[in-house]
Amino acid sequence: MSLSTMEKEKIDKQDKSATGEAVIKVKKIIPPQLVRGMRDILPTEWSWWNFLWAQVQEYALSYSFERIETPILEKTNLFTRAIGSTTDIVEKEMYSFVDQSEDHLSLRPEYTAGIARAYIEHGMLSLPQPVKLYSFGQLFRHERPQAGRFRQFWQLNFEIFGEAQATADTQLILLAAALFENLKLPVTIQINSVGCQACRPAYKQALQDYYKTKRSVLCEDCKRRLQRNPLRILDCKQEECHELAKNAPQMVDFLCEICKNHFTRLLEYLDEVELAYQLNPYLVRGLDYYTRTVFEVWGGDEGKTVLAGGGRYDNLVSELGGQPTPSVGFGGGVERIINELKVRQIAVPTAPAPDLFLACLGEASRKRAFKLFEDLRRQGIRVAESFTKEGLKSQLEIANRLGVKFALVLGQKELMDGTIIVRDMENGIQEIVDLKKVVEEVKKRLVARQSNILTVS
């Protein structure tokens, strides 16, 4: 038996069997696999990502938001302090570790805490307020993976720091609604108020009193929540808890004057612009920093997929050690939004076909083709090539498949004559042009065909 080097490398041990025959044990090489809950974004998917990213930039510009990106790694206690130690995210979902410097770090499970840290650390309070920031990046939560729920996922995120008025809440809700409308995704905007430190304790007490007598009916998670975080019982998806929530006390009946005025003002503003919304007394959100307004954008087939969520967090910056800075923001789940675009077959722009295909025949012309490629590229002409293919037929097949308008063919004869063939891919007509003038010649023809020649520096 003859073995290739690779096969030889696979041999773990060579034994003799009882009959004296050589027994070859091949070590099985298991290819590396994706970590559970993570996903690759393959080249075929990027047109959706690019489209959404372009939309986010456009809306950020229209509503005067500036981009900020904070590190993916932050100190763990930033998140425990900001998000709340009894939330699912902090209790169960953070990717946390101690690094070589003994620092306790976590992959960010959300944007807001890191951005609030940056706001304080860079003294953004001294800037004209409000400070409006947006981000588009990746977050990590060790959740149970399922459709639309990943352990590494992307969010588009908008925050307004330093504005206490309901105008900021209104603008964010309008921005979210306009973005989804422009994406042609049918959604409903769900709104509630979760009150503030002054009025929420009485509401929490009322909830505890209500649920205490029904404790045995609650799911195991909610039994625990009853003591520590009774508001979260309201949005529990378990049937038994959901039923009980229907008769539970509602926050609106407990709002203090300031919270009530804020909420009324927000709803008046939204009514004024005739934005449809649903008041949802069960909407409480999964992060502890919220005060007053909370909202979510629901979509999907059954209208229950949470595509975006956010709210006001007036105490977060001061609780992290900054000056009191009333703030509000929201985050949208990029994978979930893209999935909706795909399901609804919303067309997104794809990368335009290259303008030109450069075919070369033989080694000498290949060498010359590199320079020609660079000359064309510098003129903003998008050139496809297949330097590794030999035959003209196979190269022209590729040119056809790419949908280019022209192909340039540089063979041995042309190279010796100092010429090149320009082939019109639509009608197959070929012309011989001077190699020195080909860039200008091609440009002329492309302009005549109204190609979008890029400006390349």
- Give contact residues for ligand HAM (rule: CB under 6 A): 110-112, 141, 143, 148-150, 153, 155, 157, 159, 286-287, 306-311, 329-333, 335-336
The minimum distance between CB 103 and ligand HAM, in angstroms, equals: 23
The minimum distance between CB 2 and ligand HAM, in angstroms, equals: 51
Q: Which residues of 130-159 are buried (b: 16+ CB within 10 A; e: fewer)?
A: bbbbbbbeebbbbbeeeebebbbbbbbbbb
The minimum distance between CB 218 and ligand HAM, in angstroms, equals: 23
C-beta closer to ligand HAM: residue 286 or 380: 286
The minimum distance between CB 263 and ligand HAM, in angstroms, equals: 17
3-state helix, strand, coil in the chain (%, to 5): 40, 20, 35
CA distance to 85, 314, 427, per residue, from 118 (Å): 21, 16, 59
Q: CB-based contacts of 390: which residues, under 8 Å, 6+ apart? A: 361
C-beta closer to ligand HAM: residue 162 or 310: 310
The minimum distance between CB 151 and ligand HAM, in angstroms, equals: 7
C-beta closer to ligand HAM: residue 287 or 421: 287
C-beta closer to ligand HAM: residue 81 or 141: 141
C-beta closer to ligand HAM: residue 113 or 408: 113
Respond yes or no on whether the N-terminal peptide bond of residue 130 is cis (omega within 30° of 0).
yes
C-beta closer to ligand HAM: residue 259 or 308: 308
| Residue whose C-alpha is closest to residue 266's, from 325, 234, 311 | 311
End-to-end CA distance of the chain: 59
C-beta closer to ligand HAM: residue 324 or 391: 324
Token digits for 164?
A: 């206490």
The minimum distance between CB 334 and ligand HAM, in angstroms, equals: 8
The minimum distance between CB 450 and ligand HAM, in angstroms, equals: 40
Residue closest to ligand HAM when measured from CB atoms = 333
Specify whether the CB–CB gap between 178 and 59 falls below 8 A.
yes
Please state, in angstroms and rounded to a whole number, the distance separating the CA atoms of residues 344 and 348.
11
